[in-house]
Chain A
Amino acid sequence: MSRALGGFEQLILLAMVRLGDGTYGVAIRREIESRTGKEVSTGALYTTLERLEKRGLVSCLLGEPTPARGGRRKKLYTMEANGMRDLQASYRAFASLVEGVEGRLTLADGPSGGG
């Protein structure tokens, strides 16, 4: 069942595409923060990841505990085929809306000009 992805969901999935399989919360959060320049709440990140997991867009498994985390385990996330499909659908919609007005959008000053 494909429901349109929310903005934050899109950001998370995009970050996961960039990071590859088996990534985890801290990495995703940093990726989004460094690209958008906005602070991301860890709580909100996991709430959203949980939702994505329930919808079968991502899967996860528990990793090993590390001392840097105070002896706690990580949750390692991998993008599923459904996730990629939904993300592609979102991107298509986005791209078609952007079509023809790219010039006006790129003129706006972007600090990193990422993407």
Chain B
Amino acid sequence: MKSVRPPLIPRVLLHLLLRGEEREVICGDLEEEYRDLASKRLGSAVTKQWYWRQALRAVTGRSVERFHRMGGAVRGPRGGPKGAPGYTGMPKGGDTLREIGQDVRFGLRALGRRPMFTVVAGLTLALGVGANTAMFSVLDSVLLKPLDYPDSRRIVQVWSWRPLSKSTLAEIEGDVSSFSSVSGYVTERLALTGEGAAEEIPGAAVSPSHFSVVGIQPAIGRAFTPEESEPGRDAVVILSDELWSTRFGSDPDVLGMSITLDGSPTTVVGVMPSGYRPIVQSWRVWVPLTIDPTDFSDYSGTAGTKVLARLEPGATPARARAELAPIARALREEAPQAHDDEFVAAATVTPLLDARVGSIRSTLWLLLGSVGLVLLIACANVTNLLLAQGRSREREMAVRQSQGASRGRLVRQLLTESTLLGLLGGAVGVLVAIALLSVLRYHLQGGVPRGDAISVDYRVLLFATGTSLVTVLVFGLIPALRAAGTDVNASLRDGGCRGRGGRRGMNQALVGLEIAMSLVLLAGAGLLLKSSWLLQRVDPGFRSENLLTMRLNLPAGSYSEEEAIAQYFQQVEERVAGLPGVISVGSIWSLPMRGSSMSTIYEVKVHPLPEGAPRPAAMAQFLTPGTLKTMGIRLVRGRWFDDSDSPEGPTVAVINEAMAREAFGKEDPVGQEVEMFGNLSFTVVGVVGDVRQLGLDQGSRSEAYFSLFQIPAMSAVYLTIRTAGDPAASIAGVLDAIARLDADVPVSRIATMDEVLLTATADSRLMTLLFSLFAGIALVLGVVGVYGVVSHSVSERTYEIGVRMALGARSGAVVREVMGKAAIPVGFGLVVGIVGAYAATRLLDSILFEVQPADPAVLLVVTVVLGIAAMIASLTPARRAATIDPARCLNTE
């Protein structure tokens, strides 16, 4: 029995609102009963509910009772201004509840009397709390919430997402006892034809145990059987609920139905439950992963099977990893070329959640940290506002104290006011958070794992309430203690026109701190902006404007012959090229920035490498001759593919500049022989400029190009179409031409190349956007802070300045003097900020592109911008100081 104590919140409630004997007896009864119910194992939820209910009824019932009893007292004698605590008519040690009510009412009235202050302070808090809540929601949904699978913490990814051979999969299955089940998967894009338009559907080939690893079985039908992994018996498929409803109208007779997948008839054996989130979000179909015992290529260590497993209860990833190590060592001994050190080091076991969110984790914490700075700035600002307010109200406090209000009472009154302000800020902050989240969710959808699951939930509300209450304590306590410590006599004597310099130290320190934190955020934003700008200037190696792209996937059943594939590409390009508005057409296997790539090791004939030495690798790209002109790739030397490069002719390749440098140095590569794909020999006929295949931020790598008309190795390609005008306007015509040629070829991923580029840089742009947003808020808050403090110090020093002007001080000197004083904390903040930025921006290193974290130009620019903004902020109140009418000020004494 671990927790027999009743829930905390109602217990505290009872404790606060009941008193004396009544509290003792009622709390005792409820606790006794609670323990009794808990020991009967009624279920903790039922027991807790019971306690809550009882506590709430006790509290409300008692309060109403008491309210009736004190009846007249509440509406009692009206000695002084009504409601103000501390005035007459307050019985000593009066009812707590009534006093709280009074404090709240008085606090609301006090806030209402100063609408400017309330709005500025409330909005400042709302921005801070709202931005934090939004950021925390993202962090919570992406990093903290467990995945939607039963016992999801036991699901692990094996070997760092490295593709393994199926034989290695079998070894892991047999040798690692820490896993209760192991499964392999290969992502697939399958063509679904037959009823309705041909469609390419993302999915996976999975081993039969996949569904027990994930812990979720099909809602209708069954999972795959082990026999269905055998070639020839694998013509079965499991559908997602969404595919079942959109494509098959949720037909209850779907089980046993035959559908056409990749051109072959396939039987539906199951439908996954609705709301099921697959391991890879886009998957909508599952087919069996076949293991052919007679296919030796499958056992050579080159196949691309990724492995997922479920840990035995009580087993740890570390233990499983120790069991993987012998398998990795054996593989290395068998085939050292294929299994380098990196491969052996990658033999790890990672919880699935960590594996999926890995890259984004540090980024999100970084964003939460920066948004935390925004909240600190907001708090500092509000504290300053309250301090200033507290000073103006010193007289008010003194009057109350002189009329008999205790210091404790005044502190409580001021704290109530701050709490109200904090709650107001928190409530508006939640609205700000919801608005921010709707923007964020839209931007995060594709780029961030689990980005679609982001929502505001009760934990986030707790976080918001927590931050806003902590904020309240931080900024409420200091001014309250100050105000209550006021010397009554001094305040009453003092006309309020003279300055009390010592008090300003606190404000100045806070302003300095605000400036410093703003500078750190601005530096971060500046670095990211520069990085984004540099990224946009990168030459991708092709011309992206007026370029339409779409993916064609030839169903394997109908296009199994290489000739048929080559013929199809030729025909589709001819037909599309004949459409109005189309300038040229090409087909490329792996569209730049779209992810997939393939590598081959190569060897230059004239420079043979010693036996056993590691071979260099190049990315392989397959395309049709029309692609060079269509994409605008630059031909540097030699020639491009032409009609002479047929399957019958000598095999030729074009290489990029990076490969020419790597393989041939200063020699001319044209005419040289290179061995690739094992022992196939290719003649290099030309060199082209580097294309940023893997992303704009990835450097150029060696790449070899092959003609699809000579080696029709790929049955799925991206059709690229250069248009004279808006590429989107050509989509309908192109689709029509493709459908007329063969309606069973699914078309997917239709996008202009500009859109593809935008998607590829979405992460970096989102990060820049968020950081700029936070830094912008910080800048505004920092400037408001400087303005507020200078402005207040001017009004405090009205008397002093008045005297000096009466004695002949020039207005220019007054302005200089006021601004000079303001410059001290600002300058101090800038210096601290530069040091802070220097240390903190290092955290951005991994996401910066070609910018050093401590880029001096960026630091200089943001320091100057912030300095000028602070000067402008102090200029207005300084000017006001210079217009003080000495006669008027002196008359108030």
Contact = CB atoms under 8 A, between A and B. Distances in A.
A24 B29 CA distance: 9
A68 to B, nearest CB: 5
Given A26-B33, A43-B59, A44-B61, A74 B25 contact: yes
A41 B58 contact: yes
A73 B61 contact: no
A38 interface: no
Contacts of A72: 24-25, 27-28, 31
A34 interface: no
A43 B53 CA distance: 11
B29 A69 contact: yes
Interface in A42-70: 42-44, 46-47, 62, 66, 68-70
B26 interface: yes
B210 to A, nearest CB: 49
A43 B26 contact: yes
A39 B51 CA distance: 12
B57 interface: yes
A46 B28 contact: no
Nearest to A46: B26
B27 A73 contact: no
A75 to B, nearest CB: 5
Contacts of A74: 25, 28-29
Contacts of B354: none
Nearest to A68: B32
B54 A70 contact: no
B539 interface: no
A70 B27 contact: yes
B189 interface: no
Interface in A7-48: 24-26, 29, 39, 41-44, 46-47
Given A43-B62, A75-B21, A26 B29 contact: yes
A30 to B, nearest CB: 8
Contact of A25 (B21, B25, B62): B25
A26 B26 CA distance: 9
A52 B682 CA distance: 106
Q: Please classify the interface of chain B as helix (H, G, I), strand (E, B), loop, or mixed, using the class held by over half of its residues.
A: helix
Given A62-B21, A72-B24, A29 B29 contact: yes
Contacts of A46: 22, 25-26, 58
A34 to B, nearest CB: 13
Interface residues of B, number: 23
B692 interface: no
A23 B793 CA distance: 69
A10 to B, nearest CB: 19
Contacts of A41: 54, 57-58, 61
Nearest to B62: A43
Interface in B1-25: 5, 21-22, 24-25
Contacts of A68: 31-32, 35
A43 B58 contact: yes
Contacts of A47: 61-62, 65
Contacts of A25: 25-26, 29
B31 A70 contact: yes
A44 B26 CA distance: 10
Contact of A43 (B5, B24, B54): B54
Interface in B25-53: 25-33, 35, 53
Which of B22, B29, B57, B60 is the most central at the interface, judged by chain A CB atoms within 10 Å of its CB?
A: B29
Contacts of A29: 29, 33
Contacts of A44: 57, 61
A24 B26 CA distance: 11
A42 B54 contact: yes
B131 to A, nearest CB: 42
Interface in A73-114: 73-75
A101 to B, nearest CB: 35
A69 B61 contact: no
A15 B57 CA distance: 21
Contacts of B27: 70, 72
A68 B37 CA distance: 12
A35 to B, nearest CB: 17
Contacts of A75: 21, 25
B30 A42 contact: yes
Contacts of B61: 41, 43-44, 47
Which of A24, A25, A62, A73 is the most central at the interface, judged by chain B CB atoms within 10 Å of its CB?
A: A25
A36 to B, nearest CB: 17
Contacts of B58: 41-43, 46
B26 A42 contact: yes
Contacts of B21: 62, 75
Contacts of B25: 25, 46, 72-75
B54 A73 contact: no
A43 B31 CA distance: 13
B32 A26 contact: yes
A96 B607 CA distance: 121
B2 to A, nearest CB: 16
Contacts of B62: 43, 47
Interface in B221-276: none
A29 B33 CA distance: 10
A106 B482 CA distance: 73
A78 B43 CA distance: 35
B570 to A, nearest CB: 81
Which of A26, A44, A70, A75 is the most central at the interface, judged by chain B CB atoms within 10 Å of its CB?
A: A70
A70 B57 CA distance: 21
Interface string B858-878: 000000000000000000000
B29 to A, nearest CB: 4
A48 B21 CA distance: 15
Which of A62, A66, A75 is the most central at the interface, judged by chain B CB atoms within 10 Å of its CB?
A: A75
B62 to A, nearest CB: 6
Contact of A42 (B5, B24, B29, B60): B29
Contacts of A26: 29, 32-33
B259 to A, nearest CB: 57
A42 B53 CA distance: 10
A41 B5 CA distance: 20
Contacts of A39: 53
A68 B29 CA distance: 9
Interface string B163-189: 000000000000000000000000000
B8 to A, nearest CB: 13
Nearest to A74: B28
A70 B34 CA distance: 11
21 contacts: A25-B25, A26-B29, A26-B32, A29-B33, A42-B29, A42-B57, A43-B59, A43-B60, A43-B62, A44-B57, A44-B61, A46-B26, A46-B58, A47-B62, A68-B31, A69-B28, A70-B28, A70-B31, A72-B24, A75-B21, A75-B25
Interface of B: 5, 21-22, 24-33, 35, 53-54, 57-62, 65
Given A42-B29, A66-B32, A69-B29, 12 more contacts: A25-B25, A25-B26, A42-B26, A42-B58, A43-B26, A43-B58, A46-B22, A46-B25, A68-B35, A72-B24, A72-B28, A75-B25
Closest 10 pairs (CB-CB, A-B): A43-B58, A72-B28, A69-B28, A41-B57, A43-B61, A25-B29, A70-B31, A69-B32, A75-B25, A72-B24
